[in-house]
């Protein structure tokens, strides 16, 4: 007699992973179990994160000569930091090697400050980019006799960190381009022609050094490969160069003989014809991080490539698929590390920067990917991308405390954020503003006024009561700005001429999207016009400086403004509301003032120093306050910062508001349409079946294959496995597959009831053993797939061959009445002794019909 038992897998079932605490805060979930903001202030969690980042940069300790060649915040020279639990910042000694992050750090500093000025009207942006650029161009370029003369030493890992950069440090070209792009935007904000000249020269050198040999990459990774510590290769980093070239061309500079245009066009061809066909190869979207070979897909290359495709649909007609595939493949690649545990948590993806770093620091990668996913969601009208971006950024912004302390460990505490400043605040400042830019209706500050997005660089903005006036550096064709306002504008003017309220922006004009709490989203198109004014019945209040409570020696300045420079002079105002702004002027003789809110000294002071004069600027703001009465007080220090020529503090007015509303964050969102995934499918275009349904490559899944493991090579069947597939009119759906002892697919969905359809086929070339010695009349078959949906076991040890009625036959299993758990439907596959596998997956609303009843593997035991 022979006894049969089923294979038993002793593994705890997990589904829709959740924790009670993420990063710095206890978990908050919406009614559907999806991550929701921990922060409840009216301005919202994203605006809160922006303020913390900017304030930390503004209050950073300064380095002074002779330690540094010029006076500037320490982060200009040194990328490492320490911060106490109370928020006190100290800067450790910097090793030569650690200075290698200079180029990336500068790029984040430039780009984040430019975006922050547009958003906030805070002139500190001008001061900080000027100090960063002064160091970069004064001390971080090669000499005139270098093979790449007067070129940025982008990774100065040799030489004195606070002095002249040693050109034997690595000169990484994609990082030069990333820095140059950000410096070009800073030039447009400030008008500093010296910066523009430097960028033009860098562009000329990059264009001149391209390699036009057929079949070879156009650029090396380094200008000085002899000083690099690993192979000299550039792959997807070419997107940094292309974006830099595009910006130079947009600004009217094309190089001698249009060489920059030629280099840009050649780079586009390389990206389109050589790299995109290799989208599943690991290092195609890597080789960018400065401190290791980075021969795996990385988040920053993923961001730049995806954005470049989105923004150039005429050059990349398959951009919708390519951008989506590359971004979502990043989820699959970053889930391999058992140490990191990249996965979906409370409905949101949290993942490391790559497949090999950095433990449970699952934070800054999602911040970066979320911003470009949000852009893709708008441009491609993708509910999937909008929702994934929304959830990712909400979870990622669980990181920061009011003190400036950041906890980047998903489980709490600091890993990367405890030592690398670039990642801790400049990077979030850029990417959180990017998410606000593309999802302002969800994440813009409530009952406030902000320019959240502009296709041109904003170089001046005044946020007045009921009047937003700003200008852009230029206004080429299809220049569009997006504002989130606390009022519905009654008039919008461009260069003093009224614009028409339109249903769609087919030409110059503006549109209004009303929101329930009184805010509205205003989109303005102003081709050829640089000066924009929007006016309307703003709910905020204001009072000029002359009518505020003034103490000490204040001098009238142009009617109602007041100026003071003597220590102890103070301005104070008591107001009722939830937000307040101190408006004033900055200039080369600007001074410092301490700020007190409700009697508590604030960490960040007012600094009125600026390279050039600017009036009606936001010197200090605080929002998200409890409703009620508050007092704001500023006390003049009688001194300026280390580069100021004076101590003047000029106050124009104070603004405040008691307008209420709903912070909101889009709970209950997500795709409701049917999502179809063809597992292991390596093509760039979706497969369309005989019913006209599109199947995209399956990328949103996790397999703990190991640190730095190439998950595509290890677990994807990318080659067609059979030409003849029985029992189906769509054999292509069964020719590929994914396989591993255990893996799970995370399908992001909206609330509702769904069906799950799983497609299988067994062939002779399975990776685990099929033919083994027999016991009696029963073959010892050690293959069987167990399927769990949202943690519930639906299939136990299935024998695909017997379920299908033979080898090379298609078989579908269908499960109905599935409701999401924490905003996803997790389909988990296991095999107790070998490989689980699946060929295709469909998740859609409603009933999916009937499938085949699975047949389980029977494992015989020896007779007693």
Q: How far apart are CA 631 and CA 618, in angstroms?
A: 17
pLDDT at 782: 39
**Could you tell me what percent of the chain has a pLDDT over 70?**
95
pLDDT at 778: 36
Q: How many CB atoms sit inside 10 A of residue 624's CB?
A: 19
Q: How far apart are CA 419 and CA 426, in angstroms?
A: 14
**For 392-425, what is each residue's pLDDT tens digit?**
999 999 999 999 999 999 999 999 999 999 999 9
Residues 6+ apart with CB under 8 A from 580: 597, 621, 622, 623, 625, 630, 632, 654, 655, 656
* Length of the chain, in residues: 864
Short-list 274, 170, 286, 184, CA closest to 230: 170
**For 30-78, what is each residue's pLDDT tens digit?**
999 999 999 999 999 999 999 999 999 999 999 999 999 999 999 999 9
What tokens appear for 77 in the block?
A: 């020279």
User: For all residues of the chain together, what is the average pLDDT?
Assistant: 94
Q: How far apart are CA 358 and CA 340, in angstroms?
A: 7
Q: How far apart are CA 35 and CA 25, in angstroms?
A: 12
Residues 6+ apart with CB under 8 A from 302: 236, 285, 326, 327, 330, 369, 372
pLDDT at 721: 83
pLDDT at 530: 98
Mean pLDDT of 281-292: 96
Model confidence at 439, pLDDT cuts 50, 70, 90, reads very high
Q: How far apart are CA 689 and CA 677, in angstroms?
A: 12
- Please state the pTM of the whole predicted model: 0.95
Which burial class, exposed, middle or buried, applies to 219 when counting CB atoms under 10 A from its CB (0-12, 13-18, 19+)? buried
What tokens appear for 814 in the block?
A: 């269908």
Which burial class, exposed, middle or buried, applies to 773 when counting CB atoms under 10 A from its CB (0-12, 13-18, 19+)? exposed
Matching residue, tokens 């400049």? 426
Mean pLDDT of 627-643: 98
Residue 744, helix vs strand vs coil: strand
Pairing mode, strands 72-73 and 21-22: unpaired
Judge whether residue 13 has pLDDT over 80: no
Judge whether residue 211 has pLDDT over 50: yes
Q: Which residues, in sequence order, are bridge partners of residue 483?
A: 451, 522
Q: How far apart are CA 361 and CA 383, in angstroms?
A: 28
495 phi, psi to nearest 5 deg: 50, 45
∠ CA 502-506-510 to the nearest 5 degrees? 35
pLDDT at 4: 25
Judge whether residue 776 has pLDDT over 70: no
Mean pLDDT check: name the lowest of 364-368, 563-567, 853-857: 853-857
55 Ramachandran zone, left/alpha/beta (phi>0; psi -120 to 50): alpha
**For 326-378, what is each residue's pLDDT tens digit?**
999 999 999 999 999 999 999 999 999 999 899 999 999 999 999 999 999 99
Q: How far apart are CA 485 and CA 631, in angstroms?
A: 25
In whole angstroms, how far apart are CA 716 and each of 16, 409, 443, 677?
23, 30, 37, 13
Judge whether residue 113 has pLDDT over 70: yes
DSSP for 297-348, written as a single string:
--HHHHHHHHHHHHH-TTT-TTHHHHHHHHHHHHHHHTT--TTT--EEETTE
Model confidence at 17, pLDDT cuts 50, 70, 90, reads confident
Q: Which residues, in sequence order, are bridge partners of residue 511?
A: 523
pLDDT at 387: 98
Model confidence at 285, pLDDT cuts 50, 70, 90, reads very high
Judge whether residue 540 has pLDDT over 90: yes
Q: How far apart are CA 480 and CA 496, in angstroms?
A: 17
As a dihedral over the C-alpha atoms of residue 123, residue 128, residue 131, residue 136, rounded to 10 degrees, the angle is -130
Matching residue, tokens 């559907």? 32
Q: How far apart are CA 165 and CA 255, in angstroms?
A: 27
In whole angstroms, how far apart are CA 550 and each of 545, 565, 587, 651?
8, 13, 22, 11
As a dihedral over the C-alpha atoms of residue 515, residue 345, residue 407, residue 64, rounded to 10 degrees, the angle is -60
Short-list 273, 276, 198, 199, CA closest to 243: 199
Short-list 741, 733, 744, CA closest to 681: 733
Q: Does residue 340 or residue 2 have the better pLDDT?
A: 340
Q: How far apart are CA 13 and CA 790, in angstroms?
A: 9
pLDDT at 832: 79
Cβ(291)–Cβ(102) under 8 Å? no
């Amino acid at each position: 007699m022979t006894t049969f038992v089923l294979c038993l897998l002793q593994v705890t079932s997990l589904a829709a992973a959740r924790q009670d605490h993420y990063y710095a805060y206890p978990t908050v979930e919406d009614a559907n179990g999806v991550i929701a903001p921990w922060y409840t202030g009216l301005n919202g969690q994203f605006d809160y994160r922006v303020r913390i980042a900017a304030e930390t940069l503004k209050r950073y300790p300064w380095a002074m000569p002779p330690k540094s060649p010029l006076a500037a915040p320490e982060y200009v020279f040194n990328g490492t930091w320490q911060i106490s639990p109370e928020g006190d910042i100290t800067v450790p000694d910097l090793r030569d090697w650690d200075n290698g992050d200079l180029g990336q750090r500068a790029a984040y500093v430039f780009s984040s400050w430019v975006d922050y000025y547009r958003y906030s009207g805070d002139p500190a942006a001008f001061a900080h980019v000027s100090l960063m650029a002064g160091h970069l161009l004064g001390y971080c370029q090669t000499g005139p006799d270098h093979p790449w003369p007067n070129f940025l030493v982008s990774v100065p890992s040799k030489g004195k960190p606070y002095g002249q950069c040693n050109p034997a440090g690595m000169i990484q070209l994609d990082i030069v381009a990333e820095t140059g792009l950000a410096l070009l935007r800073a030039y447009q904000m400030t008008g500093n022609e010296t910066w523009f000249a430097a960028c033009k020269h860098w562009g000329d050198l990059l264009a001149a050094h391209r390699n036009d040999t057929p079949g070879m990459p156009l650029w090396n990774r380094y200008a000085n490969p002899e000083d690099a510590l690993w192979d000299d290769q550039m792959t997807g980093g070419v997107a940094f160069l292309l974006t830099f070239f595009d910006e130079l061309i947009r600004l009217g500079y094309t190089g001698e003989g249009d060489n920059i245009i030629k280099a840009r066009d050649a780079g586009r061809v390389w990206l389109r014809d050589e790299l995109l066909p290799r989208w599943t190869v690991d290092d195609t979207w890597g080789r960018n991080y400065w401190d290791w070979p980075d021969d795996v897909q990385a988040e920053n290359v993923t961001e730049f490539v995806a954005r470049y495709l989105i923004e150039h649909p005429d050059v990349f007609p398959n951009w919708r698929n390519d951008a989506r595939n590359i971004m979502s493949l990043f989820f699959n690649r970053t889930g391999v590390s058992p140490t990191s545990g990249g996965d979906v948590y409370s409905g949101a993806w949290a993942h490391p920067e790559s497949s090999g770093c950095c433990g449970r620091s699952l934070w800054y990668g999602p911040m970066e990917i979320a911003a470009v996913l949000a852009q893709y969601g708008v441009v491609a009208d993708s509910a999937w991308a909008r929702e994934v971006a929304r959830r990712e950024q909400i979870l990622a912004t669980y990181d920061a405390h009011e003190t400036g302390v950041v906890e980047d460990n998903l489980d709490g505490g600091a890993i990367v954020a405890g030592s690398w400043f670039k990642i801790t605040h400049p990077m979030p400042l850029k990417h959180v503003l990017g998410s606000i830019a593309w999802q302002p209706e969800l994440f813009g500050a409530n009952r406030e006024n902000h320019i959240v997005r502009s296709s041109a660089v904003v170089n001046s903005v005044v946020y007045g009561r009921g009047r937003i006036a700003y200008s852009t550096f230029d206004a080429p064709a299809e220049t569009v700005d997006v504002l989130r306002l606390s009022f519905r504008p009654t008039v919008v003017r461009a260069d003093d001429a009224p614009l028409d309220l339109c249903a769609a922006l087919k030409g110059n004009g503006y549109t209004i999207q009303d929101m329930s709490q009184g805010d509205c989203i205003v989109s303005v198109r102003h081709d050829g016009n640089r000066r924009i004014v929007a006016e309307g019945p703003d709910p905020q209040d204001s009072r000029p400086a002359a009518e505020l409570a003034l103490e000490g020696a204040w001098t009238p300045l142009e009617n109602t403004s007041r100026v003071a420079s003597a220590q102890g002079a103070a301005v104070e105002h008591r107001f009722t509301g939830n937000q307040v702004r101190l408006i004033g002027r900055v200039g080369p003789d600007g001074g410092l003032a301490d700020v007190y809110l409700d009697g508590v000294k604030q960490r960040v002071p007012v600094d009125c120093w600026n390279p050039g004069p600017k009036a009606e600027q936001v010197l200090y703001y605080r929002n998200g306050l409890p409703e009620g009465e508050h007092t704001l007080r500023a006390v003049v220090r009688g001194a300026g910062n280390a580069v100021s020529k004076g101590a003047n503090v000029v106050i124009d007015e104070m603004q405040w508001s008691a307008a209420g509303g709903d912070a909101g964050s889009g709970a209950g969102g997500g795709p409701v349409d049917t999502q179809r995934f063809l597992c292991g499918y390596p093509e760039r275009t979706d497969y369309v079946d005989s019913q006209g349904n599109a199947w995209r490559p399956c990328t949103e899944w996790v397999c703990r294959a190991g640190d730095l493991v190439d998950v595509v090579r290890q677990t994807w069947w990318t080659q067609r496995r059979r030409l003849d597939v029985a029992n189906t009119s769509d054999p292509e759906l069964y020719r590929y597959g994914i396989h591993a002892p255990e893996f799970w697919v995370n399908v992001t969905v909206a609330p509702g009831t769904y069906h799950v359809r799983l497609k299988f086929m067994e062939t002779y070339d399975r990776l685990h053993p099929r033919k083994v010695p027999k016991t009696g009349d029963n073959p010892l078959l050690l293959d069987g797939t167990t399927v769990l949906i949202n943690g519930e076991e639906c299939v136990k040890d299935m024998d695909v061959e017997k379920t299908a009625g033979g080898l090379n036959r298609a078989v579908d299993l269908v499960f109905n009445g599935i409701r999401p758990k924490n905003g996803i439907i997790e389909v988990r596959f296991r095999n107790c002794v070998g490989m689980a596998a699946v060929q295709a997956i469909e998740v859609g609303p409603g009933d999916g019909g009937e499938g085949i009843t699975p047949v389980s593997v029977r494992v015989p035991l020896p007779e007693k």
